[in-house]
A and B are shown apart, each in its own frame.
Chain A
Amino acid sequence: MMKKYYDAVVIGAGCAGLAAAVALKKNGIEDVLLLEKDEETGGILNQCIHNGFGLSAFGEQMSGPAFAQRFYEQAVSQGVIFRTGVMVTKISPDKTIVCSSMQDGVVTLQAGVIILAVGCYERNSGAIAIPGDRPAGVYTAGQAQKYLNMDGMMVGNRVFILGSGDIGLIMARRMRLEGAEVLGVAEVMPYSNGLPRNIQQCLIDYDIPLYLSHTVTGIHGKTRLTGIDLSQVDENRNPIPGATKRIECDTLLLSVGLIPENHLGDACGIPMDPAIHGPRVDESYMTEIPGIFACGNGLHVHDLADYAAHQGTMAGNGAAAYLKNGENLSHKISVVAGNQVGYVVPSYVHTENVMKTAELYFRVKQPMEHVEIVIRSGEKVIRRMKKDHVIPSEMEMVIIAGKMLEGLQDDLIVEVHA
Chain B
Amino acid sequence: MFDIVIIGAGIIGTMLARQLSFYHLKTAVVERNSDVADGTTMANSAIVHTGYDPQDGTLKAQLNVQGARMYPSLLQQLHCHHKTTGAFIVACGKKEEEHLSLLMQRADQRGIPYRVLTGQQAIKEEPHLSDQVTKVIDFYTTQVIYPWEVALRCMENAVNNGTKLYLNTEVTRIEKRETGYRVHSHDRFFDTEMVINCAGVNAPLIHDMVDAHRDYEITPRKGEYYVLDHDCTPVSHIVFPVPGPAGKGVLAVPTVYGNTLIGPNALECDGDDVSTTPQGLQAVRKAITKTLKDMPMGHNIRTFAGIRATSNRHDFIIEEVKGAPGFIDAAGIESPGLASAPAIADRIVHQFVEPRLHPSANPQAETTVQPPVIMSELSIEKQNEMIRKNPLYGKIVCRCENVSEQEIIDCIHRPVPATTIRAVKKRVRPGMGRCQGGFCQPSVLRILARELGIAETEVCLNEPGSTVLVRENRL
Which residue of chain A has the shortest Cβ distance to B304 in the bound complex? A134
Determine if A127 and B388 form an interchain contact, defined as CB atoms under 8 angstroms apart: no
Determine if B439 and A121 form an interchain contact, defined as CB atoms under 8 angstroms apart: yes
Determine if B399 and A105 form an interchain contact, defined as CB atoms under 8 angstroms apart: no
Residues of A close to B461: CB separation below 8 A = 135-136
Q: Is B456 an interface residue (CB 8 A)?
A: yes
Which residue of chain A has the shortest Cβ distance to B475 in the bound complex? A178
Q: Of A124, A179, A222, which is within 8 A of B435 by CB?
A: A124
Q: Is B355 an interface residue (CB 8 A)?
A: no
Residues of A close to B277: CB separation below 8 A = 131
Residues of B close to A217: CB separation below 8 A = 278
Using a CB-CB cutoff of 8 Å, which residues 134-173 of chain A contact chain B? 134-137, 140, 142-143, 146-148, 150-157
Tell me the bound Cα distance from A122 to B400 in angstroms.
13
Q: Which of B276, B281, B402 has the most CB of A within 10 A?
A: B276
- Per-residue CB contact flags for chain A residues 217-252 toward chain B (1 = under 8 Å, else 0) read 101001110000000000000000000000000100
Determine if B438 and A100 form an interchain contact, defined as CB atoms under 8 angstroms apart: no
Determine if A102 and B394 form an interchain contact, defined as CB atoms under 8 angstroms apart: yes
Using a CB-CB cutoff of 8 Å, which residues 265-316 of chain B contact chain A? 274-278, 280-281, 300-304
Which residue of chain B has the shortest Cβ distance to A180 in the bound complex? B470
Determine if A147 and B394 form an interchain contact, defined as CB atoms under 8 angstroms apart: no
Which residue of chain A has the shortest Cβ distance to B457 in the bound complex? A153
- Interface-forming stretch among B20-28, B134-142, B206-214, B379-387? B379-387
A176 to chain B, nearest CB (A): 12
Determine if B468 and A155 form an interchain contact, defined as CB atoms under 8 angstroms apart: yes
Residues of B close to A157: CB separation below 8 A = 470
- Per-residue CB contact flags for chain B residues 392-423 toward chain A (1 = under 8 Å, else 0) read 10111001101010000000000000000000
Q: Is A106 an interface residue (CB 8 A)?
A: yes
Q: Is A69 an interface residue (CB 8 A)?
A: no
Q: Is A327 an interface residue (CB 8 A)?
A: no
Tell me the bound Cα distance from A106 to B404 in angstroms.
12
Q: Is B249 an interface residue (CB 8 A)?
A: no
B223 to chain A, nearest CB (A): 14
Tell me the bound Cα distance from A106 to B396 in angstroms.
11
- Per-residue CB contact flags for chain A residues 73-111 toward chain B (1 = under 8 Å, else 0) read 000000000000101010000000010111111101000
Determine if B442 and A263 form an interchain contact, defined as CB atoms under 8 angstroms apart: no
Q: Is B227 an interface residue (CB 8 A)?
A: yes
Q: Which of A136, A150, A156, A177 has the most CB of B within 10 A?
A: A136
Q: Of B303, B395, B442, B466, which is within 8 A of A147 by CB?
A: B442
Q: Is A410 an interface residue (CB 8 A)?
A: no
Tell me the bound Cα distance from A131 to B400 in angstroms.
24
Determine if A106 and B383 form an interchain contact, defined as CB atoms under 8 angstroms apart: yes
Q: Which of B383, B394, B461 has the most CB of A within 10 A?
A: B394
Which residue of chain A has the shortest Cβ distance to B282 in the bound complex? A131
Determine if B460 and A148 form an interchain contact, defined as CB atoms under 8 angstroms apart: no
Q: Is A369 an interface residue (CB 8 A)?
A: no
Determine if A121 and B438 form an interchain contact, defined as CB atoms under 8 angstroms apart: yes
Which residue of chain A has the shortest Cβ distance to B392 in the bound complex? A102
Determine if B446 and A151 form an interchain contact, defined as CB atoms under 8 angstroms apart: yes
A224 to chain B, nearest CB (A): 6
Q: Of B303, B396, B435, which is within 8 A of A87 by CB?
A: B396
Tell me the bound Cα distance from A136 to B467 in angstroms.
6
Q: Is B226 an interface residue (CB 8 A)?
A: yes
Residues of B close to A150: CB separation below 8 A = 442
Q: A87-B396, A102-B395 given as contacts; is B470 within 8 A of A178 (CB)? A: no
Using a CB-CB cutoff of 8 Å, which residues 429-456 of chain B contact chain A? 434-439, 441-442, 446, 456
Determine if B437 and A263 form an interchain contact, defined as CB atoms under 8 angstroms apart: no
Which residue of chain A has the shortest Cβ distance to B390 in the bound complex? A102
Determine if A101 and B380 form an interchain contact, defined as CB atoms under 8 angstroms apart: no
Determine if B394 and A155 form an interchain contact, defined as CB atoms under 8 angstroms apart: no
Determine if B436 and A125 form an interchain contact, defined as CB atoms under 8 angstroms apart: yes
Residues of A close to B463: CB separation below 8 A = 222-223
Q: Of A89, A126, A153, which is within 8 A of B471 by CB?
A: A153
Determine if B474 and A263 form an interchain contact, defined as CB atoms under 8 angstroms apart: no
Which residue of chain A has the shortest Cβ distance to B280 in the bound complex? A131
Tell me the bound Cα distance from A324 to B270 in angstroms.
68
Determine if A143 and B442 form an interchain contact, defined as CB atoms under 8 angstroms apart: yes
Tell me the bound Cα distance from A100 to B378 in angstroms.
13
Tell me the bound Cα distance from A250 to B108 in angstroms.
56
Q: Of B275, B387, B462, B472, which is within 8 A of A132 by CB?
A: B275
A25 to chain B, nearest CB (A): 27
Q: Which of B231, B434, B446, B460 has the most CB of A within 10 A?
A: B434
Tell me the bound Cα distance from A297 to B352 in angstroms.
62
A274 to chain B, nearest CB (A): 9
Q: Is A302 an interface residue (CB 8 A)?
A: no
Determine if B276 and A124 form an interchain contact, defined as CB atoms under 8 angstroms apart: no
Q: Is B465 an interface residue (CB 8 A)?
A: yes
Residues of B close to A135: CB separation below 8 A = 461, 466
Determine if A129 and B473 form an interchain contact, defined as CB atoms under 8 angstroms apart: no
Q: Is A207 an interface residue (CB 8 A)?
A: no
Residues of A close to B473: CB separation below 8 A = 148, 152-154, 178
A158 to chain B, nearest CB (A): 10
Residues of A close to B281: CB separation below 8 A = 129, 131
Which residues does A use to contact B, with CB under 8 Å? 37, 85, 87, 89, 98, 100-106, 108, 121-122, 124-127, 129, 131-137, 140, 142-143, 146-148, 150-157, 177-179, 217, 219, 222-224, 250, 261, 263, 266
Which residues does B use to contact A, with CB under 8 Å? 226-227, 231, 274-278, 280-281, 300-304, 380, 383-384, 387-388, 391-392, 394-396, 399-400, 402, 404, 434-439, 441-442, 446, 456-457, 460-475
5 A-B pairs with CB atoms under 8 Å apart are A105-B387, A153-B473, A223-B462, A224-B466, A250-B470
The 8 closest A-B pairs by CB, nearest first: A223-B465, A126-B302, A102-B391, A136-B461, A87-B396, A136-B466, A223-B466, A105-B387
Other A-B contacts than A89-B396, A143-B437, A263-B231, 18 sampled, CB-CB below 8 A, are A87-B396, A102-B394, A108-B380, A124-B301, A127-B434, A129-B276, A129-B281, A132-B276, A133-B275, A136-B460, A142-B438, A143-B438, A143-B442, A153-B469, A178-B475, A219-B275, A224-B467, A263-B399
